Amino acid sequence: MYLQCSDRRCSTVLDIHDRSLSCRRCGNLLEVAFEPELRDWPGLKRIWWERRVSGVPLDRSGIWRFREFLPDLYRPEEVVTLEEGNVPLLSAPRSAAYAGLKNLRFKHLGWNPTGSFKDGGMTVAITHAKYLGVTQVACASTGNTAASMAAYAARAGISARVYLPQGAISKAKLAQSVDYGAEIVQVEGNFDSVLEHLLRTAGGEAYFLNSINPFRIEGQKIFILGLMEQVDWNPPDYIVLPGGNLGNASAFGKALDELKATNLIGKVPRMVVVQAEGANPFVRTWRSGTESLQVLSEPRTAASAIRIGAPRSWKKALRALQFTDGMCLDVSEAEIAEAKATIGREGVGCEPASATTLAGIRKLIWQGQLDRDADVVAILTGHMLKDPDYVIRMRESSVGDLASRRST
């Protein structure tokens, strides 16, 4: 097991214990090399299934249950887990009708221990930090990474420092980081400038746990294994997810690549990444057809989780879209608000960033780019209670009413 440069044209390889986050030769992000040694991969499906009724702590985590796809460095008692990853795949008939699809399911990653998909990555990244003997972890965040890192660091007895764009994240997320005992540093600026500042200045002692950390990606990738098990290893036609810093899109692309390489799936679902119109650097890059990121210096969207103008993992995400024959698109603020209210009326709820998925699916159907019969899974990334102020604000505008009329 080793680390390698994520740019396949660069052959840089690093020891798995190296704490670097980017390639010293070309500057691209690193990834954990997955070596599919000869093993009975299909036989693992049964083992993974049987672990569902096991009382062993590692098996009770919906991430570590699939540990054959994770770094095999850690002793079981070293693993830092909150039994994350055991989240449902929900049918969503009202949302399907709203979008114009026959069938739609939501994989709700917001129903993880701290209320977002970050927990899948954090259980692995904090376990790795502990394994390395790290005493301090840090991240920049629009709120969810911070909350998750704070919780897992607390479990591990590691001190956590979170850097947040002042006044630009939801109070509920800030409260989580405070509650879990992290040191809070509020910085003037937006997420991109805060992350830039952190990477430039805070080096040395702290270990960074933004999604540029390859061990975060390893954990998040496991959600796709959980999803495939839930669909009995018959992949859907599409997996639709929001895009911010693009760690999740990178993780899901890596999972699909590895599942295909081990023949655990026969077909690769097409991945669709959705961004908000005012924070759409990846969509712009995709449309430009070039390999240079179209940075936005002042990204704007009320979906504060994805208010990001310079996504760090864009190259990995681009590779994922290419590999899965996927696409990306953006949606307006009104479309996000209406989709979010629809998901709420479904009795499911999510945070605004997650609702870009339903808005995107609806748009693709209207544009004739998505077939009404397609089998689609949308990834909801955050819990409804992550941003209650948004709901109240929308209630006071006409958007919420419109959605409620549509869905009755």
Positions touching ligand F0G (CB under 6 A) are: 116, 141-145, 211, 242-249, 305-306, 351, 353-354, 381-382
CB of 191 to ligand F0G, least distance (A): 6
Is the Cβ of residue 61 or residue 144 nearer to ligand F0G in the bound state?
144
| Residues 6+ positions from 92 with CB-CB distance below 8 Å | 104, 105, 106, 343, 346, 348, 378
CB of 373 to ligand F0G, least distance (A): 28
CB of 377 to ligand F0G, least distance (A): 16
Q: Indicate the burial class of 371 (C-beta count within 10 angstroms; 0-12, 13-18, 19 or more).
A: middle
List beta partners, residue 238: 270, 376
Q: How many CB atoms lie within 10 A of CB 15?
A: 9
Half-sphere exposure of 272 (CA within 13 A, CB side): 25
Q: Which of 252, 313, 314, 243 is nearest to 275 (CA)?
A: 243
CB of 305 to ligand F0G, least distance (A): 3
Residue found by looking up tokens 């299934």 in the block: 49
CB of 106 to ligand F0G, least distance (A): 13
List beta partners, residue 271: 239
- DSSP output for 238-252: EEEEE-SSSHHHHHH
CB of 197 to ligand F0G, least distance (A): 14
Is the Cβ of residue 137 or residue 264 nearer to ligand F0G in the bound state?
137
| Residues 6+ positions from 45 with CB-CB distance below 8 Å | 229, 233, 264
Is the Cβ of residue 127 or residue 248 nearer to ligand F0G in the bound state?
248
Is the Cβ of residue 158 or residue 336 nearer to ligand F0G in the bound state?
336
CA distance 322 to 273: 12
Is the Cβ of residue 74 or residue 214 nearer to ligand F0G in the bound state?
214
Q: Which helix (H) or strand (E) holds 387?
A: none
Is the Cβ of residue 56 or residue 385 nearer to ligand F0G in the bound state?
385
CA distance 162 to 198: 10
**123 near 149, Cβ under 8 Å?**
no
Is the Cβ of residue 51 or residue 307 nearer to ligand F0G in the bound state?
307
CB of 361 to ligand F0G, least distance (A): 16
